[in-house]
Amino acid sequence: MRRGFTLIEVMVAVTIAAGVAAATTVAISRAADARDAARARQQAHSRADVAAERIALDVACSLRDGDLYFARVAVLDASAKDHPRDVLLLYNKSLRDGAWEAGDLPEGCEYEVQYRLEASVKPTGLGRKRALFTDVQPATLWRRLDPVPDEMPEGGGVAFPLVDSLTSLSFEAFDGDRWFDIWDSDFDGYPHAVRVVVEAVSDDLRQQATARRVIALDRIPLPYAGVEEVAIEGEGDGAEGGGR
């Protein structure tokens, strides 16, 4: 005679099956969350590292000249909601850039290069969960390139976006003793080093990464004329109505 399952046995089996199904669902969900978090973390690190490395390459190739008119490193301190969004302007030497087609202005190997953050036009996807870094709007890193240092170093040339979803961009110049968040080689002389700090976020704004670079500017030539001497001479020319 065949004996069937009792009601208690069926209820125990159903409870065990439900527990196994729930545990499996939780494990799969956590694995998916871990995968998404790792992917977002890698995305944020990649953006910050690419931006910092590109800036460091330009700083390392900056021009060195005893005449400070032909060698420029300038840092403008700026911020947005306590997040630095500094601007870097420098003259550098590179054979890699070719932003102009044949028939345009003659292109040499010396450039005006400027980095700054501008508002991002990329839509933000918050994903399934609430974003963690919403205190500042992500921005895009722009690089402006002008083939020849000229009378208007703050403008001209071609600007193009490099990296999106950056939240802060910080530059500091080192004079051999202290770090300064505002610097202009026309008045302060050529710095001994430049520090770059970039922060980026993932598309879902839940992962943030920071990349840092310190670029030593060795073989710094002494200016032909002291900075104070040039400043005093410029003030005298201005008082007489002359000067450049």
Residue 4 lies in a domain: no
Structural domain containing residue 185: 32-98+106-239
Question: What mean pLDDT is predicted for residues 219-232?
Answer: 57
Strand boundaries in 11-157, DSSP class E: 73-76, 79-80, 83-84, 87-93, 110-119, 139-146
Model confidence band, residue 156 (pLDDT cutoffs 50, 70, 90):
confident
Residue 138 lies in a domain: yes
Residue 209 lies in a domain: yes
* Tally of domains within the chain: 1
Q: How far apart are CA 140 and CA 86, in angstroms?
A: 13
Is residue 97 scored above 70 in pLDDT? Answer: no
Q: Which residues of 198-235 are buried (b: 16+ CB within 10 A; e: fewer)?
A: bbbbbbbbbbbbbbebebebeebeebeeeeeebeeeee
Is residue 127 scored above 50 in pLDDT? Answer: no
8-17, 52-61, 223-232: the lowest-pLDDT one: 223-232
pTM of the model: 0.73
Is residue 235 scored above 80 in pLDDT? Answer: no
Residue 148 lies in a domain: yes
Residue 149 lies in a domain: yes
Question: What mean pLDDT is predicted for residues 97-115?
Answer: 64
Is residue 54 scored above 90 in pLDDT? Answer: yes
pLDDT of residue 122: 64
Question: What mean pLDDT is predicted for residues 191-215?
Answer: 92
Is residue 231 scored above 60 in pLDDT? Answer: no
Is residue 2 scored above 50 in pLDDT? Answer: yes
11-44 pLDDT, tens digit each? 888 888 888 888 888 888 888 888 888 899 999 9
Model confidence band, residue 102 (pLDDT cutoffs 50, 70, 90):
very low
Structure tokens at 168: 């802060």
Q: How far apart are CA 119 and CA 139, in angstroms?
A: 5
Q: What's the mean pLDDT when you consider all of the chain?
A: 79
Residue 195 lies in a domain: yes
Question: What mean pLDDT is predicted for residues 203-208?
Answer: 88
Is residue 241 scored above 60 in pLDDT? Answer: no
Question: What mean pLDDT is predicted for residues 145-150?
Answer: 77
Residue 61 lies in a domain: yes
Structure tokens at 151: 């009378």
Is residue 237 scored above 70 in pLDDT? Answer: no
Residue 203 lies in a domain: yes
pLDDT of residue 140: 93
Q: Which residue has the higher pLDDT, 186 or 147?
A: 186
pLDDT of residue 1: 52
